[in-house]
Chains A and B, each alone.
Chain A
Amino acid sequence: MTSTTTFEKHRESATTRSAVALSINGQRHELELDNRTTLLDTLREHLKLTGSKKGCDLGQCGACTVYINGKRVNACLTLAVMHQDDEITTIEGVGDVEHMDPMQQAFIDNDAFQCGYCTPGQICSAKATLDEIRAGIPSHVTKELTGPIEISDEEIRERMSGNLCRCGAYANILKAINQVAKDQIVKDQVAKERS
């Protein structure tokens, strides 16, 4: 057994900071960080991108949901220094007040939030939910693992369950996602017909 003192000696003598370059919302950032800094705190504290929220800091609420290389993750449960050259997209990259993403507009249209704190995470997850269904990734509620996956209320609810909303806007969030899903299907059809 190695004694704790050996650990502490290492801790005291070693470098506990690192340089890292991240691409966030298409912009490259070169940072020098305490190794302990989560991606979430990097965004919120170092880059002042406060759209991603901290609800629990333990991966238990989803308010910090962002995309890393196109996949949704909890930014509170990953270290920034691990993401050298990764492409990170936050709610700020999804759309701003002047150029809203259809999902953001759908959230407004359907009153899919109240206090607004979980909202950026919900929106990031909502977009990912539709992408994941389109990519054919099943879920806990998918009836046939190998068949095609329909966009259904049940599928959306299950896939959104990693984003807590204490105000209880779930039913409206579902409507917002369905609105976007419907628009996308119409768009896809139009595009198909044109081609």
Chain B
Amino acid sequence: MDFNQSADENLFDHARIIGKPHTRVDGALKVTGTAPYAYERHDVVENPLVGYPLGSSIAKGHITRMDATAARNAEGVAAVITTLDIDELPRAESNVAKLFGGDMIEHYHQAIAVVVADTLEQARAATSLIEVEYEEIPGEFDLDDAWKRLQDRDVVSHVGDVDAAFESAEITLDETYYTASQSHAMMEPHATIADWCDGKNMTLWTSNQMIEWTRQALATTFEIDADTIRLESPYIGGGFGGKLWLRADAVLAALGSRETGRPVKVALPRSFIFNNATHRSGTVQRLRIAANRDGRITAFDHAAISHTLPGGSGEDAVNQTRCFYAGENRRVAHHAIDMNLPESADMRAPGEASGLAALEIAMDEMAEKLGMDPVEFRILNDTQVNPEEPSKRYSDRHFVECLRKGAEGFNWSARNTTPGSKREGQWLIGQGMAGAYRGAPTLDSGARVRLSEGRLIVETDMTDIGTGSYTIIAQTAAETMGLEMDDVEVRLGNSAYPAASGSGGQMGAASSTAGVYAACVALQGEITKRLGVESARFESGQVVAGGKRVALRDVAQNEELVGEDTLHFGDFKDELEIGTFAAHFVEVAVHAYTGETRLRRTLSVVDAGRILNPVTARSQVIGGMTMATGAALTEGLNIDSQRGYFTNHDLAGYEIAVHADIPEQEVIFLDTQDGASTPLKAKGVGELGICGGAAAVANAMYNATGIRLRDYPMTLDRMLDRLPGA
């Protein structure tokens, strides 16, 4: 099916199931511990061997010698494969860091060996028997130093005349902001069971967000035909972008299986999530804003730096500044600097999460300079077109409504406007807000639906990483086919199924449901053909055509009817700005003596097209807000700037938010409809929640204390000496 123009009124505007609250269809499996995750597939493989990786203990250099004799002789060990045993594996397009093979070390905890043994205990113990000698090359690991050295900026875009605008501006802001490197820290580590016993056909049971990308990446990496590779990833214990790619778990499991002729399973040890897998790069960002005294922004100048391994793109923190607010003159520059830290790559809202963390503090600072309410300042600078390219209009943008509804719902007008002046006992109380923007991309998505005995099975390689794909896909299919939720079974995450968008860039929900819709329409075509009618309605489990009603289960008896299609998104979208918007409001308490900061309540008002399922969408938004809370207050990968690695590589050292950090979180959906997005008029919300959230916390902290922090995470040591105490 081609989607070549904005959707008009359609069945989803009169929905029974889509847009209505439904609890998760996979809920019962998850709460009983019976949903099978990658490492637990006792149902598909009997007694696999266990692989355990060894990581490099230096950041940059070469391995000059490895001796695995003792490991090979250790009890239970079936094989040891060292990185010197094979040539460097070719890198798939999506992989920046090398995954295995050869003597070169690019980052700390790069996988340099895998021990395959009968048990985990044996494999793990044997890894420490491997002797490794390195030739170390000193590296540079200080982003702020790199920023200070930076002479020429890689200007991404420049519209108007920014320098002139600043010269003539009445009010200007010029500040530098810092965001920390962050880890996805998903609860399930990367894990794979590989069966490549015959060295010909490879089957992987893995934990991966993008089935088809990863199948292709495996084909490139091992230089084999993609058709010989099968992937299953039906349940994924969190990804957040960390499982978009082929990673060491799958590579080492596959190598181990080929070597031993046995299935092999590998889970990355927790420390590897921080230094072997990918992370979000920290940034340094200089933001300048110019405005007229009436509050109208005349110019933005945003430059940022982030780190990457050679060949990567870092964290593009300036992207949103190009289009979020009005202003005639704008310049953004993004510099990705090469550093031999682990691979920096996509993490939930790559770019925007970091960029808005800075921009939305800057907006707060600018509003203060102007003596304006930060909500009104944003409203005044709203735009319905892309300010870089005014002919390109927003397909559907209700940011102002988000701001107004949020202000009303949060009772913003009653807030204390003098920073540092509201106190309850030893706590300083403050409120802050921030705007949020994130693009709403879509990717072509396919699905297959099979109707048999009135029951519908949906198959697509789309994944559910906790996002609710199972549920919204069931809703889409039930809605389109006139069935009930119980009549639909959804099967996901299998390379045997038609390729879908996968889960990334908050495009999964919108794209994959559109693909399922297309497949259902194809099935409808099959059914009408059977019945010999031109068109039909599908309702209450029946086909209604030409005055006749036929139960779906009677359309084809003892036979399965199949519909398969891919929804192709047309070029018309390129002429529009399609985005999602939100306003976050936060109240915090900051301890006047110690600087401990605790959230008291949050409200997010969200404009993200049709909300397919308010239950799962709400969870995405509060989950994003929770991650934003971590980003604001506690999360930062600490870099040993001489040795070049993240030191806090466990879940005690890298502090994600815990229960006690999270207060009541309210979410309001505007439930708009964006016909330019998909036939369901839906857009994603999975990344919107983390966008701007950290800045809302930061702005609330400023309101509480009168101390402006520009350095994330905003831990107490950054403000301690400026707090009032008594």
- A interface list, Cβ under 8 A from B: 34, 36-37, 41, 44-45, 48, 50-58, 60-61, 63, 90-92, 94-97, 100, 104-105, 107-109, 111, 113-120, 123, 141, 153, 156-158, 160-174
Question: Which residues in B have their C-beta under 8 angstroms from that of A94?
Answer: 32
Closest chain B residue, CB of each to CB of A174:
B659
Measured between C-beta atoms, what is the minimum distance from B460 to chain A in Å? 19
| Chain B residues numbered 94-120 whose CB sits less than 8 Å from any CB in chain A | 119-120
The 0/1 profile, CB within 8 Å of A marked 1, for residues 178-210 of chain B is 000000111111000000000000000000000
B126 within 8 A of A: no
Whether B186 contacts A171 by the Cβ 8 Å rule is no
- Give the distance in Å from the alpha carbon of A90 to the alpha carbon of B32 in the complex: 10
Closest chain B residue, CB of each to CB of A125:
B659
Choice from A120, A162, A166 contacting B186 with Cβ under 8 Å: A166
Whether A116 contacts B30 by the Cβ 8 Å rule is yes
Whether B32 contacts A161 by the Cβ 8 Å rule is no
Contact A157/B662 with A45-B120, A55-B270 known, Cβ cut-off 8 Å: yes
Whether A50 contacts B42 by the Cβ 8 Å rule is yes
Question: Which residues in B have their C-beta under 8 angstroms from that of A171?
Answer: 622, 626, 662-665
Closest chain B residue, CB of each to CB of A55:
B187
Given contacts A115-B188, A170-B661, 4 further A-B contacts (CB under 8 A): A36-B125, A53-B187, A56-B650, A115-B236
Whether B27 contacts A115 by the Cβ 8 Å rule is no
Whether A58 contacts B32 by the Cβ 8 Å rule is no
Question: Which residues in B have their C-beta under 8 angstroms from that of A174?
Answer: 659
Question: Which residues in A have their C-beta under 8 angstroms from that of B466?
Answer: 113-116, 167
Whether B627 contacts A170 by the Cβ 8 Å rule is no
Whether A51 contacts B465 by the Cβ 8 Å rule is no
Between A55, A105, A114, A156, the greatest number of chain B beta carbons within 10 A of the residue's beta carbon is seen for A114
Question: Which residues in A have their C-beta under 8 angstroms from that of B31?
Answer: 100, 104-105, 107-108, 113, 116, 119-120, 123
Between B120, B187, B662, the greatest number of chain A beta carbons within 10 A of the residue's beta carbon is seen for B187
Question: Which residues in B have their C-beta under 8 angstroms from that of A108?
Answer: 23-24, 27-28, 31
Question: Which residues in A have their C-beta under 8 angstroms from that of B457?
Answer: none
Whether A115 contacts B465 by the Cβ 8 Å rule is yes
Whether B238 contacts A166 by the Cβ 8 Å rule is yes
- Give the distance in Å from the alpha carbon of A28 to the alpha carbon of B626 in the complex: 42
Whether B627 contacts A168 by the Cβ 8 Å rule is yes
- Give the distance in Å from the alpha carbon of A39 to the alpha carbon of B662 in the complex: 31
- Give the distance in Å from the alpha carbon of A118 to the alpha carbon of B187 in the complex: 7
- Give the distance in Å from the alpha carbon of A34 to the alpha carbon of B31 in the complex: 31
Question: Which residues in B have their C-beta under 8 angstroms from that of A119?
Answer: 30-31, 33
Question: Which residues in B have their C-beta under 8 angstroms from that of A107?
Answer: 27, 31
Question: Which residues in A have their C-beta under 8 angstroms from that of B620?
Answer: 114
The 0/1 profile, CB within 8 Å of A marked 1, for residues 206-218 of chain B is 0000000000000
Question: Which residues in B have their C-beta under 8 angstroms from that of A116?
Answer: 26, 29-31, 35, 235, 237, 466
| Chain B residues numbered 451-467 whose CB sits less than 8 Å from any CB in chain A | 465-467
Stretch of B151-159, B275-283, B475-483, B611-619 at the chain-chain interface: B611-619
Whether A166 contacts B187 by the Cβ 8 Å rule is yes
Closest chain A residue, CB of each to CB of B35:
A116
Closest chain B residue, CB of each to CB of A118:
B187
B34 within 8 A of A: yes
Question: Which residues in A have their C-beta under 8 angstroms from that of B30?
Answer: 113, 116, 119
Residue pairs across A and B with Cβ atoms less than 8 A apart, 24 shown, are: A41-B120, A55-B651, A56-B270, A58-B652, A60-B270, A92-B33, A104-B31, A108-B27, A113-B30, A114-B467, A115-B188, A115-B235, A115-B237, A116-B237, A157-B659, A157-B662, A158-B660, A164-B656, A165-B659, A167-B187, A168-B623, A169-B622, A170-B661, A171-B663
B484 within 8 A of A: no
- Give the distance in Å from the alpha carbon of A34 to the alpha carbon of B118 in the complex: 12
Give the size of the chain B interface in residues (CB under 8 angstroms): 65
Whether A165 contacts B34 by the Cβ 8 Å rule is no
Whether A115 contacts B622 by the Cβ 8 Å rule is no
Choice from A53, A97, A156, A157 contacting B32 with Cβ under 8 Å: A97
B222 within 8 A of A: no
- Give the distance in Å from the alpha carbon of A100 to the alpha carbon of B663 in the complex: 28
Question: Which residues in B have their C-beta under 8 angstroms from that of A63?
Answer: 187
Whether B659 contacts A60 by the Cβ 8 Å rule is no
Contact A115/B652 with A96-B34, A97-B29, A169-B623 known, Cβ cut-off 8 Å: no
- Give the distance in Å from the alpha carbon of A21 to the alpha carbon of B260 in the complex: 33
Closest chain B residue, CB of each to CB of A113:
B30
- Give the distance in Å from the alpha carbon of A104 to the alpha carbon of B184 in the complex: 27
B133 within 8 A of A: no
Question: Which residues in A have their C-beta under 8 angstroms from that of B659?
Answer: 156-158, 160-161, 163, 165, 170, 173-174
B37 within 8 A of A: yes
Whether B32 contacts A92 by the Cβ 8 Å rule is yes
Closest chain A residue, CB of each to CB of B184:
A166
Question: Which residues in B have their C-beta under 8 angstroms from that of A57?
Answer: 269-270
Lowest 4 A-B CB distances belong to which pairs?
A51-B33, A168-B626, A117-B237, A115-B466
The 0/1 profile, CB within 8 Å of A marked 1, for residues 617-660 of chain B is 01110111111000000000000000000000011100011111
Interface on chain A toward B: helix, strand, loop, or mixed SS? loop
Whether A90 contacts B651 by the Cβ 8 Å rule is no
- Give the distance in Å from the alpha carbon of A170 to the alpha carbon of B30 in the complex: 16
Measured between C-beta atoms, what is the minimum distance from A149 to chain B in Å? 16
- Give the distance in Å from the alpha carbon of A166 to the alpha carbon of B235 in the complex: 15
B163 within 8 A of A: no
Question: Which residues in B have their C-beta under 8 angstroms from that of A141?
Answer: 660
Contact A167/B238 with A115-B188, A172-B622 known, Cβ cut-off 8 Å: yes
- Give the distance in Å from the alpha carbon of A109 to the alpha carbon of B623 in the complex: 17
Question: Which residues in A have their C-beta under 8 angstroms from that of B651?
Answer: 55-56, 58, 60-61, 164
B40 within 8 A of A: yes
Whether A50 contacts B119 by the Cβ 8 Å rule is no
B121 within 8 A of A: yes
Measured between C-beta atoms, what is the minimum distance from B384 to chain A in Å? 32
- Give the distance in Å from the alpha carbon of A135 to the alpha carbon of B659 in the complex: 22
- Give the distance in Å from the alpha carbon of A60 to the alpha carbon of B235 in the complex: 23
Question: Which residues in B have their C-beta under 8 angstroms from that of A169?
Answer: 619, 622-623
Question: Which residues in B have their C-beta under 8 angstroms from that of A167?
Answer: 187, 238, 466, 619, 623
Whether A97 contacts B237 by the Cβ 8 Å rule is no
Contact A115/B238 with A34-B121, A164-B658, A169-B619 known, Cβ cut-off 8 Å: yes
B538 within 8 A of A: no
- Give the distance in Å from the alpha carbon of A55 to the alpha carbon of B270 in the complex: 7
| Chain B residues numbered 141-188 whose CB sits less than 8 Å from any CB in chain A | 184-188
Question: Which residues in A have their C-beta under 8 angstroms from that of B419?
Answer: none
B595 within 8 A of A: no
Contact A111/B664 with A166-B185, A167-B623, A172-B622 known, Cβ cut-off 8 Å: no
Choice from A50, A51, A92, A164 contacting B187 with Cβ under 8 Å: A164
Between B31, B239, B468, the greatest number of chain A beta carbons within 10 A of the residue's beta carbon is seen for B31
Question: Which residues in B have their C-beta under 8 angstroms from that of A118?
Answer: 187, 237
Whether B185 contacts A51 by the Cβ 8 Å rule is no
Question: Which residues in A have their C-beta under 8 angstroms from that of B427?
Answer: none
- Give the distance in Å from the alpha carbon of A108 to the alpha carbon of B360 in the complex: 35
| Chain B residues numbered 652-685 whose CB sits less than 8 Å from any CB in chain A | 652, 656-665
Question: Which residues in B have their C-beta under 8 angstroms from that of A111?
Answer: 23-24, 615-616, 618-619
Question: Which residues in B have their C-beta under 8 angstroms from that of A160?
Answer: 659-660
Question: Which residues in A have their C-beta under 8 angstroms from that of B622?
Answer: 168-169, 171-172
Choice from A45, A51, A113 contacting B34 with Cβ under 8 Å: A51
B267 within 8 A of A: yes
- Give the distance in Å from the alpha carbon of A36 to the alpha carbon of B620 in the complex: 39
Question: Which residues in B have their C-beta under 8 angstroms from that of A166?
Answer: 184-187, 238, 240, 627, 656
Whether B23 contacts A170 by the Cβ 8 Å rule is no
Whether B121 contacts A161 by the Cβ 8 Å rule is no
